[in-house]
Each structure stands twice: as structure tokens, then as C-alpha cells.
Amino acid sequence: MKELYHGDCLEIMKGLQEKTIDMIYLDPPFLTNKKHSLSSRDRTSHYSFDDLWACHKTYADFMLYRLIEAKRILKDSGTIFIHCDKTANHILRLVGEEVFGQDNFLSEIIWSYKRWSNSANNLTPNHQNILFFAKTDSYKFNKIFTDYSETTNIDQILQKRSRDAHNKSIYAREDDGSVVSADEKKGVPLADVWEIPFLNPKAKERTGYPTQKPILLLDRIIEISTDEGDLVLDPFCGSGTTLVAAKMKGRKFIGIDSSLDAIELSKSRLETLVKTESALLTKGRESYINADEKSLAILSGLDVLPVHRNAGIDAILKRNYQAKPVPIRVQRENETLYEAASKLSAAARKKGAKIAFLVATRKAQDLIEMKFDDHIVQIINSPALEIGSFIDEQWSKQLLNQTG
């Protein structure tokens, strides 16, 4: 079976046999009316594709003909995922319902991520939409489970529920009033909002292809809709993300793109499979939080923005100093003043800071610490240390007076 096709997906899909594909994911042009261009990190390759349309109707027709073909080649148990954003979401939802039927619209998946951009006079766009349709009502769907959220009440997990006389959900009780344990739990069924990081510019898997999607996003789509050995099609495959994800998960795949560069790039990605793991997904959000609770408590009340993902800095002052950021760190219990100051100094220099503040929580232990001299780091005592030192000093003076 041929895996990569160069050409208009409408024509190529017409040549594919009906009812042969298990799942289609498509990430078509988004109706941005732009030419998308980008270069690979080493600048040796330059990629681009057009997303220019005369009007919404032209775009809707373009998609309509392609979705009709997509439906024809899907198996009756097949599903389709249409990736878009706010620009064409409403159009694709209507066109999708026209082709697959309102009843076969299953979900609108929100792919949510953090991305900082200076959205001039609007909210920063931090999500895209994936419209999920089935071909028939007997579609393949693999339920997957996620962890409970930190706010889930443990009783909700451990205790069985039943209904009272008013049909209100209550915790079930034995006749003697004792609680009834719930059946084994697998976790929470996957919801329709997926937090998956956007590919950062340094990610190993980034190819330089404009609008490249993360493999982790496709992993999830493939997991819920296919089994090993199933056939996945991406008619607008771009850099080949879907194909790489499918291959890594033991699925068969077909990719189509009208750009020869995209097909060549997909080919090379399929030869050497590279995937970027996400610390956010594997270790959880807490893995980014390096400022501990005590440190944050000491900083509360200051006009600062706490920062995570930086081993040397706990927060940045909201005011700049000499047009540069002002980093702050709190000395940890297990760290000497010297160690804390060195970490802060190195991190602050990297950020181009002219001044940084270290909040000392313990007295300097030795001469090196007392003599710590850094042009950037200013050491100030925490209120607890300041009060403690003041009392100690008064106490020593009193003792001296008594003995003198």
C-alpha cells in the first residue's frame, strides 16, 4: 500500500477504495487568508503554503467536496477529526453536519495550550478546535481515563453513590449506616478539553513546517479512535505529524499533501522517528513549580509575578530597574546563603538584570557568606530573620552590660 501521495487530496481520495479507512484526521488551511511560511531551525529548508480564499463560500465548497470524499472512503465504524480554529470553526461545523449528519457530530475537542503573544486588542488565543464526527452510530471509540483532579473529594472516589427518594444523588449506606465502598475506579473518563503544550521553537520534533502540530495531540486522537493495525488517513498531512504518530503506535497510514516539500519532509520524518515528550504531561503541572510554599508566602504582599521553570529565580518584580527585570529569590531551608546567592546571580545575569534581591532566611554561616560580594545581588533579611537578629543583638548587649 502506498503511504504518501503528492497532489490535491480531492483527486487522491477519489482514487481510494470506499469503506477502507478507520480514521481520518485533517488539518486543512484555516481560512486565515495568509501565506504561511517558516524555515527550519538551521535555516537550510524553507516551507510555505497558501491559505488564501476569494470568500467564505469558496472555502466552504472546497471543504464540502473533500469531506464528501472522506466520508465515502471511511469504514462504517470510522470517525473523522477536523482541526480548525475560531476563523473557520462555524463553517466547518455546518459543512461537517451537512456531510455526516447532525446526529453524527460527537464532540468539539478544545486543544488548549499556553502561548504568550501580544494580542493587541483582544484575548490571547490559547486554544484550537477539533470537530469530531462519526460516519454512523456504530463507530469505534476507545474509552481512556485520566487522573482525578487535585480538587476531587476522596469520598467521591471511594464511596458508592445511590439515589434518594427525590432522585438526588447521595452516598450509599448499609442498613447499619456504614458507607458502601465504590467499585474499582479507573480514573476520570477523558473530557473534551485537552491541555497539550504547543511545540516550542526548540522542541526536538519541530521541523520548521508552518502550523506543525505536536505528535502528543495526534497520539490521543489515534488512541481514542483506532486499534493497532487500523488504517489512518491525513489528507492535508503537512510535515507528516499524523503519520509519525500512527507509525509509532503501530497503525497503518496514508498521507496526502499538495506540496512536494511537505511530502519529502514527511518521508524523512517517517525514516527517523523523533518525538518530544512533555514534562507537563508526564510529570504534571507541579514539576514546573520550583518556588516552594514558604518562599511564596514570604513574597506575598510584594508586587511580584511568581515565576516557575527557573531554578534561580522565584519571582520578578512588576517594576523594572534601569529598563531591566528585577529577579527575586528566597533562600531555601536546605541551602546556604552563598548557594542561594550564586544561583540567583547566575540566573539574573542570564536575564540581563541590573539588580536582583535575595531574601535571606538564615544568618550567614561563615566568612565566605558574610563577604559575599556581587554587583547584582542585594541581600535583604526576611522579617523573621530581621526580628530574630534584633532580639539576639539586644540580648547580647544586655549580657555584656551585666557582666561588665
To ligand SAM, the closest distance from the beta carbon of 262 in angstroms equals: 4
- Residue 66 Cβ, how far from ligand SAM at the closest point, in Å? 7
Judged by beta carbon, residue 199 or residue 353, the one nearer ligand SAM is 199
| Cβ proximity of 14 and 69 under 8 Å | yes
* Cβ-based nearer residue to ligand SAM, 10 or 355: 10
Shortest Å, Cβ 271 to ligand SAM? 16
**Nearest distance from C-beta of residue 237 to ligand SAM, angstroms:** 6
Q: Which three cell numbers mark 124? A: 490571547
Q: Which is nearer to ligand SAM, 57 or 160 (CB)?
A: 57
How far apart are the two ends of the chain, measured CA to CA in Å?
99
Rounded Cα distance, 224 and 146, in Å: 13
Which of 250-280 are b and which e, b meaning 16 or more Cβ less than 10 Å from the residue's Cβ?
ebbbbbbbbbebbbebbeebbeeeeeeeeeb
CA distance 404 to 400: 6
* Residue placing its CB nearer to ligand SAM in the complex, 267 or 354: 267
Shortest distance (Å) from residue 329 CB to ligand SAM: 39
Q: Find out whether 268 and 17 touch, Cβ atoms under 8 Å.
A: no
Handedness of CA 215, 218, 224, 230 (dihedral sign): negative
Determine the residue with CB nearest ligand SAM. Answer: 238
Instruction: Tell me how far, at minimum, the Cβ of 13 lies from ligand SAM, in Å.
Output: 9
Count Cα atoms within 13 angstroms, Cβ side, for 369. 15
Using the minimum distance from each CB to ligand SAM, give the nearer residue, 27 or 230: 27
**Gap between the Cα atoms of 228 and 262, Å rounded:** 26
| Coil, strand or helix at 367 | helix
Reference 331, options 372, 288, 391, 285; nearest CA is 372
**3 state DSSP class of 335:** coil
What are phi and psi for residue 187, nearest 5 degrees? 125, -160
Nearer to ligand SAM, 111 or 236 (CB): 236
Radius of gyration of the chain (CA): 29
In this complex, which beta carbon is closest to ligand SAM, that of residue 129 or of residue 258? 258
CB of 119 to ligand SAM, least distance (A): 21
Minimum distance from residue 36 beta carbon to ligand SAM (Å): 7
Question: Toward ligand SAM, which CB reaches closer, 199 or 360?
Answer: 199
Q: How far apart are CA 209 and CA 39, in angstroms?
A: 7
Q: How far is the CB of 242 from ligand SAM (least distance, A)?
A: 7
Ramachandran angles phi, psi of 282, nearest 5°: -80, -35
Residue ranges that bind ligand SAM, judged by CB under 6 A: 8-9, 27-29, 49, 209, 211-213, 235-236, 238-239, 241, 256-259, 262
Residue whose C-alpha cell is 479507512: 21
Q: How far is the CB of 257 from ligand SAM (least distance, A)?
A: 4
Question: Which CB, 194 or 236, lies closer to ligand SAM?
Answer: 236
Q: Nearer to ligand SAM by C-beta: 210 or 388?
A: 210
Q: What is the rounded distance in angstroms from the CA atom of residue 246 to the CA atom of residue 228?
A: 9
**What distance in Å separates the CA atoms of residue 3 and residue 242, rounded to the nearest whole number?**
12
Q: Which residues contact 350 (CB under 8 A, 6 or more apart)?
A: none
